[in-house]
Amino acid sequence: MEEIVYTMGELIGGSSHVFWTSEDMCHGSKCLVAWKDVCRPKADGGLGLGLKDLETQNQCLLMKFVDKILDGSPAPWKEWAYGMLMDSSTADGNGLRIWKSRMPNKVKVFTWLFFRDRLSTRVNLHRKHVQPVDACSRCGTSSESWQHAFFHCPYIAELWSRIGVNISNVQETEDLWSAHHPAAVCSSHWADVLLALLWRIWEARNNHVFGSELSCVRVVISRVCDDLNIWRYRLPVHSRAGLDAWRMHLVSSNCNAATASALDAHE
């Protein structure tokens, strides 16, 4: 029996290593979320891997299964399941919004980590004793919390005002879902746009921190527009117009800012 328990422990440990690093072993700091939380149902804030018993644990190699769950394809049973989850007292509202999005799975898993504050910001790395200080490595003026990295760092703060999204009341990540945005764009696609924005903001931060590129706000918005232009095909035909309206809004936001900048330079 001890041997069986040992073997399953190894299997579970090995699964987490593969999940986080695609390698047989991984350092503790690379395990962004406790494995037991990863395995919890999505309704409870996990990834819904469902490792509850030996039979399921045997299936935990892994990403194929995750991909199947998160593929975003429409299915009546999924709608039913979401409805059931919404009634649950333990339902994770962030997770439900994320998993219902039609954005790619890599973006959804990233956003899941963002909403759990498990990204490798300097504050989180410092907490894990990976970094000696928690100061933002871009501006150096503040601790790099998730709020700073995505909203208040001088390198990104202007993005939100440029696209007309009011983040002044965002205290918790949950507040983002109800952030006020321009009336001309569709509220029902805000979640998709938010996921794309967070994805590209983090990419720009990483490119800057690791020295490969310094991306300005205009470039970040432009890349989000490119993403939405591709990812629109993940949506049903009848609902693409709403996402297109958002993309056009982002394009015009960049154009308006460029025009204003040119006029300022001319004066």
Among 42, 97, 116, 138, binds Zn ion (CB under 5 A): 138
Q: In angstroms, what is the C-alpha Rg of the chain?
A: 20
Taking CB under 5 A as the rule, does residue 136 contact Zn ion? yes
Q: How far is the CB of 112 from Zn ion (least distance, A)?
A: 24
Query: Least separation, in Å, of the C-beta of 262 and Zn ion?
Result: 27
**Axis-axis angle for helices 190-209, 240-266 (nearest 10):** 50
Residue 17 binding Zn ion, by CB under 5 A: no
- Shortest Å distance, C-beta 263 to Zn ion: 29
| Nearer Cβ to Zn ion (136/165) | 136
Residues 145-184 that bind Zn ion (CB under 5 A): 153
Q: Pick the stretch among 19-27, 68-76, 136-144, 176-184 that binds Zn ion (CB under 5 A).
A: 136-144
H or E, element range at 71: none
Asked if 8 interacts with Zn ion (CB under 5 A), we say no
User: Binding to Zn ion (CB under 5 A): which residues in 231-250?
Assistant: none
CA distance 206 to 203: 5
Nearer to Zn ion, 116 or 148 (CB): 148
**Sequence-distant contacts of 205-214: CB under 8 A, at least 24 apart:** 205/138, 205/149, 205/153, 205/155, 205/156, 208/138, 208/155, 209/137, 209/138
Which whole-number Å values give the CA distances from 115 to 31, 73, 79, 111, 131, in the listed order? 16, 23, 23, 6, 22
Count of chain residues binding Zn ion (CB under 5 A) = 4
Which positions touch Zn ion (CB under 5 A)?
Answer: 136, 138-139, 153
